[in-house]
Structure 1
């Protein structure tokens, strides 16, 4: 593999975008020429090596259908000009359109599924297109075995399951002797993340542990609703919504626990990073199984049923009520640094993509 093109929606803050940045930086160090095509002309959130090419397409038409057609025509022209060894499209809804756009170019397309395939994509017509075009892709990367199991055997035969790479350079080195009484969550403020569950569970937990505060990082369409819910359930001064931040890990380092309240996820980067920092983590046992592959319940974190307010509040209480238990969870959680080391996982990605290039050359 001499040249790779990544195709994605944008490089704003997000799990798929972070993985692209890590892979591109790793591939660049191994002398592979990297280009990132973005469909939106948005600010780049993650640090990229200087010689990684960025090709933002931007909006082509006010009509969304014409805009989509013109964008993928431009992608086809760019790929034909640059002649990459392979194209990696992520997340899945981008791949669904990249596959037909590149038919006849003789460039293998690999799609990386980043979420729960039982739920995403939302639109019925997009799901139909996935069924139609996925068999034409050269390969697939899934985050979990559960996500892979959704697809036909013919797709699974040319796929691989790979976790997200963990960039150890992002993990704060500061040793925490005593954690502050703070519960933290982070992510897009949207329906998938189910932050109402976190707020409601914290409200129940807070009655027993009133010295704790709740901090939720992120931005999104539901910010106003979440703030209103917090106002209605919690005393003033016990919650905050600081928004999106580039130094999230430094901000949450030293908190008592990290909570993932999502209804569904792929493999959540923020859980991986919180565990690597030695934070006690509580996560819903949500499809498509990313948290369950990371957390051994009661050993290096706690899993609770999706949407279960009482179980989530109880898990918080277990951590707050026992320093020994909290310290055990945090210490064991740090083993993830060995398992998901970025260089090791990125090399696995490279080996798989090299195999796909070889098969299709």
Structure 2
């Protein structure tokens, strides 16, 4: 009886308040619709599997390969050719030198009396007149050896000639034994008038069967500038006398450093091209007196060993180290973290200077 009475009460309430109940139902439905359409969290979009980036394989131009010396494309035939490492005069009256604008790598250091000499390495160039050719020094031999180069010179120091006579690490293209590959210019004064050329040296190497495939340790090259470093629009190496002071000035237009020596811009005698380098390395090492008969102020330069280094590329200076474990091993050029330094693509010039000389290297942001 009680249950029936309750049901009757509910029915009576519904009849009396039907419009209120309907309004509440409609309101509730509207609230639900608004929430579903506007307030409820949206469903996450369907997960689309990531498409991997296509691997871009560098396509070398036909007949071209990346040079292990400069990181640029060169002719396959040039890359297969053993480099020529040519000793060049840097005496003020011998400037400007011939062929240096075509060199891939150049090493420069002291010989005697504060005079510097350079060893220019040629592989990518098919044609170039080179000179004045000068004599060998024993501490250049390990540098030529690491490139499997044909070492081109005219005579040399006693220590250099002794090593060349006994070593198997180098092919010795001495002018004294290979005169056909050299000539003298009558308009210049000896000993600053001995010249050769890529063509003559190539003919010599073919005749002597020296032109075995090159085995050159590749450096690391990149168009990307390494992180860090300091602004260095100019870099100066004070070897000795003012006439041998070298300054490198960054050229934004051509993206390389231009060489000045003794305050004069360096050019190539043959074509008036400016001498420059994409990367300049300053290798600090021991330079000690080396007494020699009739040769005052001769020096010995340690090119095997290790020491501090500076690297200049893209208008910036970077600190690092150099290491060369043996006469035949390649010089390792390392950044501040001990990793191989990344060179800019193009020619490289290595200045080997005394670590004990005060302010031997300096640079400026201007």
Considering the TM-score relative to the shorter chain, is it more than 0.5?
Answer: no
Structure with the largest fraction of strand = 2
**TM-score if structure 2 supplies the norm length?**
0.29
Structure with the largest fraction of helix = 1
